[in-house]
Amino acid sequence: MNGDLQKSTDYDRLIKVFGVTPLSEEVLNKLPERHKLFEIGYFFAHRDFDKVLEGWERGEEFAILTGRGPSNVMHLGHMLLFDFVAWMQKTFKVPAYIPLSDDEKYVFLKVDSLREAAFYAYDNALDIAALGFDEKKTYFFISTKTPEIYEMSVELSTEVTLNEVKAVFGFTDSDNPGKYFYSVVQSAHILFPTVRKGYRSLVPIAIDQDPYIRLSRDIAERKKLPKPAALHSKYLPGLTGEPMSASKPETAIFLDDPPKVIKEKIWKALTGGQPTVKEQREKGGDPERCVVFKWLEAFVLDPKEAEEWKGRCRRGEVLCGECKKKLYEGIVRILKEHHERKLKLADKADKFFLHPVDWGEVDKVKEKTKRLLEQFNLS
């Protein structure tokens, strides 16, 4: 495993803290092909991913599953993860399940109403679907609109105690009972394909979400079900060097940012360049410390191109402005195509959902996407 992202944070410590297994060459060699995010070390740890791959070689189908908390428009960091999930679906020809946890966002006070969460759920789902998911094998579901989820949550809730939930999530007696119950609801999301269809779930997930996986695995064991497997990712650094966050819009590019905003954000991004053009030409830049380079690597360049580009930066052959321009043009091209696909998909949203679709909300998403696309067409 190599790659730039790995070096930038203390992921070795997280592997120890969470007790997950580093992703070894031996496991990666079982893959029929390697996605770029394996090459650059974005996925770096796992639980039972080796067992999933061994089972798959023996003809055992699995389900790929990643949830989304619909409290806002998604950003490019989310896109990276779901792009990978779509690749997994294509590569292994497996069903994909995408729970949209409106309940989570409400009990953690991230939305003012379930209605607000529903709008983002449809918006997010169409963004995800537009990444190339197979409508015949992809199942989005909004948690409160899917009666099976509450039923399953009730059935799973007797397998854990408050003590366990507290230990895993660090809640206190000042927290609301909705947060506690959501720990079980999340397990119901993860185990849904297992209980209903007999598939083992594989969950690509950011490393800090591992507690949910651990709880789901404990519950699965007690219910004598195959335990969900996980693939753990790092975080792509935000444009400013901080983590990407909806509360700091300058850190991320959101899927509803128009080209003008994208340009402004990229122009202000943290680079590994020298203070002056002269110094950059003489000493070269440092791509390891450069967010713009990491974003180029993640979104625009293939691994070979990225290596070349890195060398050119180090030798001072390229200036930060060129990199920013390349990133801006790449992202605008990607997003324009993305919004076009999203708009086309909106009319058949029902093909992707387990429950009846609220077309009123989908219409709002369509309108928004149309207006946004006009700005991309002008740019």
* Coil vs helix vs strand at 229: strand
Q: Is residue 377 part of the contact set for its own copies (CB under 8 A)?
A: no
Spatial neighbors of 160 by CB under 8 A, at least 6 apart, are 183, 184, 215, 218, 219
For 311, the token pair is 């060398």
C-alpha distances (whole Å) from 260 to each of 256, 323, 372 are 11, 17, 11
Applying CB under 8 A, the span of 8-16, 46-54, 143-151, 277-285 interacting with its own copies comes to 143-151
Among 155, 250, 317, 340, binds its own copies (CB under 8 A): 155
Any contact of residue 109 with its own copies (CB under 8 A)? Answer: yes
- Cβ atoms of residues 187 and 219 within 8 Å: yes
Whether 280 and 271 have beta carbons less than 8 Å apart is answered as no
Helix (H, G, I), strand (E, B) or coil at 2: coil
If one asks whether residue 247 binds its own copies (CB under 8 A), the answer comes out as no
CA distance 192 to 220: 11
Nearest to 259, CA basis, from 332, 154, 205: 332
Does position 218 bind its own copies by CB under 8 A?
Answer: no
What character string, x for contact with its own copies (CB under 8 A) and - otherwise, covers 274-313? ----------------------------------------
**Backbone dihedral angles phi then psi of residue 183, each to the nearest 5 degrees:** -60, -35
- Tell me if 107 contacts its own copies by CB under 8 A: yes
**Which segment (13-21, 145-153, 206-214, 303-311) binds its own copies by CB under 8 A?**
145-153
Nearest-approach distance from CB 363 to its own copies, in angstroms? 22
* 169 to 188: interface string for its own copies, x by CB under 8 A: --xxxxxxxxxxx-xx----
User: Nearer to its own copies by C-beta: 186 or 274?
Assistant: 186
Q: Which is nearer to its own copies, 184 or 313 (CB)?
A: 184
Other C-beta atoms closer than 10 Å to the C-beta of 334 total 15
- Asked if 342 contacts 369 with a C-beta cutoff of 8 angstroms, the reply is yes
Instruction: Work out whether 159 is an interface residue with its own copies (CB under 8 A).
Output: yes
CB closer to its own copies, 17 vs 154: 154
Nearer to its own copies by Cβ, of 80 and 215: the residue is 215
CB of 205 to its own copies, least distance (A): 21
Task: Give me the least distance between CB of 118 and its own copies, in Å please.
Answer: 10
Q: Does 165 bind its own copies (CB under 8 A)?
A: yes
Question: Sheet holding 43-47: strands in order across?
Answer: 21-22, 43-47, 229-233, 200-206, 62-65, 96-100, 138-142
Q: Quick check: 369 and 257 in contact, CB under 8 A?
A: no
Interacting residues with its own copies (CB under 8 A): 103, 106-107, 109, 113-114, 144-147, 150-151, 153-155, 157-163, 165-166, 171-181, 183-184
